[in-house]
Amino acid sequence: MPQLVTPATLYQTSFLAALVECHEEHRHLELGLTTLRAPETFARYVAALRAEENLRADDHSGRVPQTNLWWVDGDEFLGRIAIRHRLNAGLRSVGGHIGYETRPSRRHRGHATTMLATALPLAGALGIDPALITCDVANIISRRVIEANGGRYAGRDADELHFWVPTA
């Protein structure tokens, strides 16, 4: 049964296969396949993802602390979700508290819906309730994921639809 886990090097093979699929969709082109194939680079990437949870309030990057989790079944990487601990001006407009994606070859099987349902209590434990989740006006599938999890439409900011989703 799939579960949410902290990013770890044991998923490297499957994560890289998923990254190939994402690159075919022109997503995550900033993540270089050749570099991430080196075990030590992949270990550094995983460590950096885990460290995002501990970003300090006075961090100058403008980024807020974020818990990155991977949706896995055994050693198979299926998708990812990020819980931002608080909103800044950018996230209030686009992104919100939670962002997710399912790897292309594993879509349409309910993974995003279940992954979000599993992550919402974790967001609640961080003091987030309700969570702001946004999606592009054209992203009908993501809208269904949000609404299946109790999301209530809260208006739009340009092409981005906003929803409040209860975490408890």
Ligand X SMILES: CC(C)(COP(=O)(O)OP(=O)(O)OC[C@H]1O[C@@H](n2cnc3c(N)ncnc32)[C@H](O)[C@@H]1OP(=O)(O)O)[C@@H](O)C(=O)NCCC(=O)NCCS
CB neighbours (10 Å) of residue 95?
18
C-beta separation of 149 from 117 below 8 A: yes
Cis? peptide before 104, omega within 30° of 0: no
Quick one: which of 3, 93, 118, 139 contacts ligand X (CB under 6 A)?
139
Closest to ligand X by CB, 87 vs 141, is 141
- State the nearest-atom distance from the C-beta of 105 to ligand X, in Å: 10
- State the nearest-atom distance from the C-beta of 114 to ligand X, in Å: 7
Span of 58-66, 108-116, 117-125, 151-159 interacting with ligand X by CB under 6 A: 108-116
Quick one: which of 142, 151, 163, 167 contacts ligand X (CB under 6 A)?
142
d(CA 103, CA 78): 6
Quick one: which of 148, 150, 154, 164 contacts ligand X (CB under 6 A)?
148
Closest to ligand X by CB, 16 vs 141, is 141
112 near ligand X, judged by CB under 6 A: yes
Torsion sign across C-alpha atoms 18, 23, 28, 34: positive
Beta strands at 131-136 and 152-157: parallel, antiparallel or unpaired: unpaired
C-beta separation of 135 from 71 below 8 A: no
Which amino acid, residue 110? Answer: G
109 near ligand X, judged by CB under 6 A: yes
Quick one: which of 64, 141, 150, 154 contacts ligand X (CB under 6 A)?
141
d(CA 113, CA 133): 13
- Residues in touch with ligand X (CB under 6 A): 99-102, 107-113, 135, 139, 141-142, 144-145, 148
